[in-house]
A and B are shown apart, each in its own frame.
Chain A
Amino acid sequence: MESTFITAIQNIATPEVLLVIFLSAVYGLFVGSIPGLTATMAVALLIPLTFYLDNLSAIAAIVTLEACSIFAGDIPTTLVRIPGTPSSAAYTDDAYALTRRGLHETSLGISLVFSVFGGLFGALVLIFAAPQLAKIAFQFTTYEYFWLYVLGLSCAAIVSTGSRLKGALALMIGLMFATVGLSEVHSMPRFTFGFDELFTGINFIPAMIGLFGLSEVFRNTLTSKTYEAAEKLQSAVKEEDDHSLLRHLKPVFGGVLPQFWKRKFSWLRSSCIGSTIGMIPGAGADIAAWISYAVSKKFSNTPEEYGKGSLDAVGDATSANNSALAGAWIPALVLGIPGDSVTAIVIGVLLMKNITPGPEIFQNTEQLVLVHGIYLTFIIANLLLIPLGFLAIRSGSQLVRIPRRILMPMILMFCVVGAYSINGSYFDVWVMLGMGMLGFVLEVFDVPLGPVVLGIILGGQLEQSFVQNLTKDDSLLSFFNRPISAGLGLFCIALWLVPVIMPLIRKKSATT
């Protein structure tokens, strides 16, 4: 344990890895602070690069990128009232109201400090909870895994914003895509329509680049206007002339630390909520922020301020969304089930890097070094966020002004090259294009994209464990024959049935 930890420190403390961490932090801050570019998209665009990095650098890059872009999402939220990432959406009104009162730097300072401490709390939860959970997971057989896949997919559909039915529809679309190609358990090609390339199935990385990246390009170009003036985002921030350092530091950090000390208990509460929500498969930082916001309002002495510019709201929700990040890595590492869309990509990267997520990675020394490396990177990334985040706050008002007519062709180029580079195949670019159009259409109909991706990733494994279970014993009752699988199975069924039955019961009690 200790020796692997020391090895992990030694591995991280090399100039190459530190440079990768630094560059990812800058990239993360940049992408996160541009409205419309999400952390998930940033990670998806980074994937082709991670193939060529060594394991630790690749994972460190993703961790850093994630932590920094989630914070950076607060910058446009505060300055121009456009959430940089979906996880900032919960407190957009509060943050922007503060800006209009001229308190934007205090608000961003609060965001930064609470984000950093929330992130560190999440990292601690990851460090202590993951190995414990791995011990339990060592008892899991195909039956438990089947229910876990069902649980992960169900949560993604249920928790995602909008209609539950549409979440389920998105899930089915994703699962359908996963059945394309040669079925691993049957050795039979399905839905290949004579394309040899489809034998492998739909590669989920071009699919994801298309769904998240290209569809965003379409959304932007469709509503674009040609003249420059209309494109500049409206900001309430006035231009300043004074440029001395102290003059800059004071509004950002002044008063923030006392504020933090005053709200240490609510910080703890929000961080706990954040990391717990993060652990639930399918629920990510955005949902953590919403729930923490709601809880914070409920316990607040001044609930009437919420929505009209409450610093407490901003602080609580940002610490929750940052602690959710590390929480999401727990099921990803221990069970191979992603906690959010970023960790869904991470699992793909891990698999490509010779690491099969699962309880075994806590047994194998070499992989344990990597796990410790992940812990350390979470801590480093959050500490690095203090100086870099400060710089980002200062330069943020410039960053959000990059016109989209320049940004969109660039993103398009990265989408094409990114999709191509995974296998050096033009077919993957077609897949990316098709998925981009599908993603756009789905968004028009308000169907969430998260469950589609999760379906593509987990579909194969879900079907495999389903068939494996039926091969072991062809009665459906065998799915409940072990205590853990029975518990998980009943929980999954309840999850789907309760919202269906509840209205019926309510209606009945109303009529009697």
Chain B
Amino acid sequence: MNLRAIIRVSVLSRSILCCLLLLMSGCAAESIEDYPDRPITVICPWSVGGATDRTSRQLAVFLEQELKVPVNVINATGGRGVTGHSRGLNARPDGYTVAIITGELNMLHWQDLTSLTWHDAEPIMSLVDGAGAVFVKQDSQFKTIKELRDFVEQNPGKLTATGTAAGGIWHLALAGWLDFCGLNASDIKWIPMNGAGPSLQELASGGVDLVCCSLPEAKTLYESGQVRCLGVMAEEPLAEFPDVPTFASQGMDWNISGWNGLAVPKGTPAPIVEKISTAVKKITDGEITVQGKTFPESMRDAGLSTRYRANDEFAVFLEENDETLGKLLTSDAFKKMSSRGTGPLVFPGLLAIAMCVILGCLAVQKKVHALAPDVSKDTVTSQGIVNTALVLLGIVAYQLFAEQLGFLLTAGAIMFLLLWKLGTRWWISALITVCLIPGIYTLFANLLRVPLPRGVLGW
């Protein structure tokens, strides 16, 4: 009942909105009026399971309900966020690719890892804002953040901490706090780790002394009493964890948080931006329910603290955040941080040496040319060489033509020719092709929502 009413309202509002948009942009191309008429892709720059991924997937479910088209999340991970951010923000600005951006967008360009800045994005809405927190093991000697500071003052370089990669947001948070206390940013050794999960496991097993990450990420271990939280780097205690003291209440006014939000590539037509903004606004206002839950409710259930800032307000926040992080990252204290003992080419170098040694041994043993028994048993035929060349050509042809012609035509032609050339009768080849290729397309593009190229035939 409730759902139907909401759908009716949303349909109504959508049609009104469409009319308004039509009036506003009289000369807009047809595709803009019809937006959205095909699936939308959300690019998440971080891997599955983290706070950003959870946000992206929740949002996708609600967007799908609101915009009435499939919304898929792609985790374009790696490169400390460079990959995902550049894929999301360098996409075609047609509204069919939306990007989730995170605090790293305001850090990477200061560290010369990308030329991308928040100016390449059209901000829509900020979503999560999670303050950093410092955790120790339950049996640790530190009870308050002050005790920790005094210990570091006396024993610089003794403690080890982790939480994310070197130079990541939580490393910055901890080093910034040390700097704030008048200590050296390198007085606590930072062990680079891949995210909060493995870091907390390392803390629990006694491999490091401290972990700096956001509170919800440590929820399980904190609530089961295996780790203690010394303080959270927020202005106010978090609603979810009222017992955790803030840094400010312990006499250190140091706040920093990791955030994420939704953006579209710069240059997206205004009506489309407007449409997405309206939809997201409704979602974050809790007007839409999926399975009886609103977006803010599901985010709360996931333990994520949210802070919604719409369009211009988000832009202002981005500007400020960029400045703050830039100041931190370009200060002398952090410049030193990036230099480290084990260079990036040490490990590949060791591997190369090992490889040379192995190849040398193989050459001495004269074993390099031993053919695999099952290859030598069946002799290579001249027909076989032609067939293999055809297979190779098939893959290359697919790569070259699939985007223009579409999956059905390209794959169908390649499939038929291969079957035929490999020795099947032409009508059997045609039959297999006609059954198989649309089948694969339906399975992957429609059921599994893989963005297979549509091309001329569409489907």
A264 part of interface (Cβ distance < 8 Å): no
Assembled-state Cα–Cα distance A463/B440 (Å): 39
Name the distance in Å between A371's Cβ and chain B's nearest Cβ. Answer: 16
Contact B111 A187 (CB under 8 A): yes
The interface size of chain B toward A, counting residues with CB under 8 Å, comes to 102
Contact B111 A223 (CB under 8 A): no
B149 part of interface (Cβ distance < 8 Å): no
Contact B165 A227 (CB under 8 A): no
Specify the main secondary structure of chain A where it touches its partner. helix
Contact B388 A474 (CB under 8 A): no
Contact B78 A201 (CB under 8 A): yes
When the two chains form the complex, which single residue of B76, B192, B370 contacts A200, counting CB atoms closer than 8 Å? B76
Contact A221 B204 (CB under 8 A): no
A471 part of interface (Cβ distance < 8 Å): yes
Residues of the B chain whose Cβ atoms lie less than 8 Å from the Cβ of A165: 358, 361-362, 365, 367
- 0/1 per residue, A114-152, Cβ < 8 Å to B? 000000000000000000000000111111000000000
Contact B387 A353 (CB under 8 A): no
Assembled-state Cα–Cα distance A466/B396 (Å): 39
Contact B191 A142 (CB under 8 A): yes
Residues of the A chain whose Cβ atoms lie less than 8 Å from the Cβ of B345: 190
Assembled-state Cα–Cα distance A445/B367 (Å): 9
Assembled-state Cα–Cα distance A325/B177 (Å): 50
Contact A222 B385 (CB under 8 A): yes
Name the distance in Å between B362's Cβ and chain A's nearest Cβ. Answer: 6
When the two chains form the complex, which single residue of B194, B440, B452 contacts A184, counting CB atoms closer than 8 Å? B194
B372 part of interface (Cβ distance < 8 Å): yes
Contact B351 A182 (CB under 8 A): no
Name the distance in Å between B80's Cβ and chain A's nearest Cβ. Answer: 6
- 0/1 per residue, A355-366, Cβ < 8 Å to B? 110111001100
Assembled-state Cα–Cα distance A351/B202 (Å): 18
- 0/1 per residue, B102-146, Cβ < 8 Å to A? 000000000101000000000000000000000000000000000
Question: Which residue of chain A is the closest to B200 with respect to CB atoms?
Answer: A360
* Residues 407-461 of A contacting B (Cβ, < 8 Å): 408-410, 412-414, 416-417, 420-421, 423-424, 426, 429-430, 433, 443-446
Contact A217 B111 (CB under 8 A): no
Contact A351 B379 (CB under 8 A): no
B444 part of interface (Cβ distance < 8 Å): yes
Residues of the A chain whose Cβ atoms lie less than 8 Å from the Cβ of B113: 182, 187
- 0/1 per residue, A225-239, Cβ < 8 Å to B? 111100000000000
A183 part of interface (Cβ distance < 8 Å): yes
Residues of the A chain whose Cβ atoms lie less than 8 Å from the Cβ of B167: 187
A352 part of interface (Cβ distance < 8 Å): yes
Question: Which residue of chain A is the closest to B197 with respect to CB atoms?
Answer: A356
Name the distance in Å between A158's Cβ and chain B's nearest Cβ. Answer: 13
Stretch of A16-24, A169-177, A504-512 with 4 or more beta carbons under 8 angstroms from chain B: A169-177
Contact B82 A445 (CB under 8 A): no
* Residues 341-387 of B contacting A (Cβ, < 8 Å): 341-345, 347-348, 351-352, 354-355, 358-359, 361-362, 365, 367-373, 375, 378-381, 383-385, 387
Q: A201-B78, A354-B53 are in contact. List 19 more A-B contacts (CB 8 A).
A: A168-B354, A169-B362, A176-B351, A179-B347, A181-B78, A182-B83, A182-B113, A185-B192, A190-B345, A219-B375, A225-B381, A360-B197, A414-B440, A417-B411, A417-B452, A424-B74, A443-B375, A444-B375, A472-B189
Residues of chain B touching chain A, judged by Cβ–Cβ distance below 8 Å, are 41, 47-49, 53, 74-80, 82-83, 86, 111, 113, 160, 165-167, 189-194, 197-198, 201-202, 204-207, 220, 224, 338, 340-345, 347-348, 351-352, 354-355, 358-359, 361-362, 365, 367-373, 375, 378-381, 383-385, 387-388, 390-392, 394-396, 398-399, 402-403, 411, 414-415, 418-419, 422-424, 428, 432, 436-437, 440, 444, 447-452
Residues of chain A touching chain B, judged by Cβ–Cβ distance below 8 Å, are 48-49, 51-52, 138-143, 163, 165-166, 168-169, 172-173, 175-176, 179, 181-191, 196, 199-201, 217-219, 221-228, 351-356, 358-360, 363-364, 403, 405-406, 408-410, 412-414, 416-417, 420-421, 423-424, 426, 429-430, 433, 443-446, 463-464, 466-468, 470-472, 474
7 examples of A-B residue contacts, CB within 8 angstroms: A52-B447, A163-B367, A176-B355, A356-B198, A406-B432, A412-B391, A467-B347
